[in-house]
Amino acid sequence: MLGITALKDGYEDIKRHQSDRTVNNNLVRVLGGGDWVNPNVMQTKSRTFVRGILRRYRRKAKKVEDGHPEALAGVTGPEVQTLNVEYDEDDSAEEIPHRFPGFHHTEDAVPASELRHDRPHWKKTAWEDLAVGDFVKIMDNESLPADILICATSEEENVCFVETKNLDGETNLKSRNAVPALTHLASAARCAAKENVFRVDCERPDTNMYKLSAAVRVGGEQFPGDISTVLLRGTVLRNTKWVIGLVLYTGEDTKIVLNSGGTPSKRGKVERQMNPQVYVASTYPLGSEIDIISDY
């Protein structure tokens, strides 16, 4: 029985690790290129032995033939490759067409030989590779990978809507607002520009789901930040085309993880008393002078 129980628990543990890997390998758009460098220093992420046992699933870039009609219209080149790189619509409309006549912007397909990685862009990165201080772009109906400070949204008044049923069970949408001093950061180029630098001071990770205290320093001015300007991990963006934000907390520091404590034991009083009795009975043979006394 002990062996069967150990095998069952081991199987469930492996499936739990596989589920965690699926979540951690979800992709999110992170700012890259240009002169942008995340100034925050973070420790390297921990690795478990399970990575060496389980099969590693890697996303491989798909190659298409030169001149594919769905990838490029009227463009020829040595190779066309679908890459996990996206540009903002304003950048694509200004620069790509005059370099590639007849090109129609698609989400991922860009000529690999002509792609300018020195320009600020959004690269798709795994959730587990997110770091505090990264700029991310969340699209409609996507889950939040971390606790994010809202910089700008696609709406005119910089408002977005989020579904929080994974946190509080409520299905009605909640409205969140961008920090007024950061609403101009509506593209990758503006987020990476050195003249748009700012600083965020926030409190230590807290389990309170409805409270957050932060201060955004832009130049010599200071602007407050609270829970109404933050999107928490576990929520889903709804009815908003996109949101650009700054990562505040990741991994175990997010509020949803801090509130998901260990499962309490559900053993009854009889089971707790029987365990030492079974141990004593198995240790001492029958006929010994030790008596097992029970209250029942």
The CATH architecture one would assign to domain 25-40+67-258 is Distorted Sandwich (2.70)
pLDDT exceeds 70 at position 213: yes
Question: Of 146 and 119, which is predicted with more confidence?
Answer: 146
Listed in sequence order, the residues at least 6 apart from 80 whose beta carbon sits closer than 8 Å to its beta carbon are 63, 64, 65, 66, 67, 68, 71, 72, 109, 111, 112
- Cα gap 123→137, rounded to integer Å: 10
Give the pLDDT mean for 133-156.
Answer: 93
Q: How confident is the model at residue 29 (pLDDT cuts 50, 70, 90)?
A: very high
Q: Calculate the alpha carbon distances from 202 to 195, 205, 206, 234, 249 in Å.
A: 22, 9, 11, 20, 10
- Cα gap 206→58, rounded to integer Å: 34
Give the pLDDT mean for 239-246.
Answer: 94
Query: Which of 169, 160, 184 minimizes the C-alpha distance to 241?
Result: 160
Which residue is listed with tokens 């928490």? 232
Q: pLDDT of 34-45, one tens digit each?
A: 778 888 877 666
Residue 111's region, left for phi above 0, alpha for psi from -120 to 50, else beta, is beta
Question: How high does pLDDT run on average in the chain?
Answer: 76
Q: Using CB atoms within 10 Å of the CB of residue 107, give its burial: 0 to 12 exposed, 13 to 18 middle, 19+ buried.
A: exposed
pLDDT exceeds 60 at position 5: yes
Question: Of 186 and 290, which is predicted with more confidence?
Answer: 186
Q: pLDDT of 160-196, one tens digit each?
A: 999 999 888 888 999 999 999 999 999 999 998 888 8
> What percent of the chain is predicted at pLDDT more than 70?
69
| Residue ranges per structural domain of the chain | 25-40+67-258
pLDDT exceeds 70 at position 280: yes
Give the least confident one: 60-74, 193-207, 209-223, 279-293: 60-74
The amino acid occupying position 82 is T
> What percent of the chain is predicted at pLDDT more than 90?
35
Q: Calculate the alpha carbon distances from 125 to 16, 42, 130, 288 in Å.
A: 22, 17, 7, 66
